[in-house]
Structure 1
Amino acid sequence: MSSSRISAAGLNSAHTRTLRTPEELVNAGFVTHGTMPAIGEVAEKYATAIPPAFADLIETPDDPIGLQVIPSPDELVVAPHELADPIGDDALSPVPGIVHRYADRALLKPLLICPLYCRFCFRREHVGPDGGLLDEEALAVAFQWLRENSAIREVILTGGDPLMLSSRRLEHIIRELASIPHVTTLRIHSRVPLAAPEKITDALLDAMDADKAVWMVVHANHAREFSAAGREALRKIQRRGIPVLGQSVLLRGVNNNEAALEDLFRAMVESRMKPYYLHQLDPAPGTARFHVPIEEGRRLLAGLRGRVTGLAWPTYVLDIPGGYGKVPLGPDYVEPSLSAVSDPNGQRHAIRTPNSQ
Structure 2
Amino acid sequence: MIPAAPLPLQPAPAPAPAHDPAAATPRWQRLWREGVRDPRELLRLLGLDEAAAGISDAAAAQFPLRVPRGFIARMRPGDLHDPLLRQVLPVPDEARIVPGFSLDAVGDAAAKKADGVIQKYRGRALLVATGSCAINCRYCFRRHFPYADETAARDGWAGAVAAIAADTGIDEVILSGGDPLSLATPKLAELTARLAAIPHIRRLRIHSRLPVVLPERVDDAFVEWLSALPWPVAFVIHANHAKEFDASVDASVGRLRRAGAQLLNQAVLLRGVNDSVEALADLCERGYAAGVMPYYLHQLDRVQGVAHFEVEDERARELHRQLAGRLSGYLVPKLVREVAGDPGKRPL
For residue 174 of structure 1, report the CA deviation from its aligned partner: 1.8
Residue equivalent to 2:180: 162
Residue equivalent to 1:85: 104
2:45 to 24, 28, 42: 28
Within-5 A mapping of 1:1-357: 11-16=5-10, 17-29=34-46, 32-34=49-51, 39-59=56-76, 60-126=79-145, 134-137=152-155, 139-208=157-226, 209-321=228-340, 325-329=344-348
CA distance in 2, matches of 1:71, 1:36: 10
CA distance in 1, matches of 2:212, 2:133: 13
CA distance in 2, matches of 1:62, 1:36: 9
For residue 175 of structure 1, report the CA deviation from its aligned partner: 2.0
- Structure 1 unpaired stretches of 5+: 1-9, 330-357
Distance 1:145 1:35, change over 3 A: farther
- TM value normalised by structure 1: 0.84
Which digits, 9 at most, give the CA deviation of each residue in 1:2-54, with x for residues without a partner? Answer: xxxxxxxx944332331112443344347654489962211221121110111
CA distance in 1, matches of 2:100, 2:67: 28
For 1:53, the aligned partner's letter is: G
Give yes or no for contact 2:115–2:151 (8 Å, CA) kept in 1. Answer: no
SS in 2 for 1:156: strand
SS in 2 for 1:101: coil
Distance 1:133 1:302, change over 3 A: same
CA distance in 2, matches of 1:264, 1:85: 28
CA distance in 1, matches of 2:149, 2:65: 14
Give yes or no for contact 1:111–1:131 (8 Å, CA) kept in 2. Answer: no
Give yes or no for contact 2:104–2:145 (8 Å, CA) kept in 1. Answer: no
Give yes or no for contact 2:57–2:90 (8 Å, CA) kept in 1. Answer: no
Distance 1:306 1:83, change over 3 A: same
- TM value normalised by structure 2: 0.86
- The structure that has the greater radius of gyration is 1
For 1:168, the aligned partner's letter is: P
For 2:215, the aligned partner's letter is: P
Distance 1:319 1:31, change over 3 A: farther
CA distance in 2, matches of 1:226, 1:37: 27
Greater CA drift, 45-54 or 244-253: 45-54
Which digits, 9 at most, give the CA deviation of each residue in 1:53-73, with x for residues without a partner? Answer: 111111123211111111111
> How many pairs does the alignment contain?
319
Residue equivalent to 2:19: none
CA distance in 2, matches of 1:159, 1:260: 27
Which digits, 9 at most, give the CA deviation of each residue in 1:94-117, with x for residues without a partner? Answer: 211100101200100110111101
CA distance in 2, matches of 1:30, 1:160: 30
Give yes or no for contact 1:49–1:117 (8 Å, CA) kept in 2. Answer: yes
For 1:68, the aligned partner's letter is: Q
Measured on the aligned residues, the alpha-carbon RMSD in Å equals: 2.2
Give yes or no for contact 1:88–1:323 (8 Å, CA) kept in 2. Answer: no
Give yes or no for contact 2:293–2:331 (8 Å, CA) kept in 1. Answer: yes
Which digits, 9 at most, give the CA deviation of each residue in 1:240-275, with x for residues without a partner? Answer: 111100100011111111100100000111111111
CA distance in 1, matches of 2:156, 2:122: 22
CA distance in 2, matches of 1:36, 1:126: 28
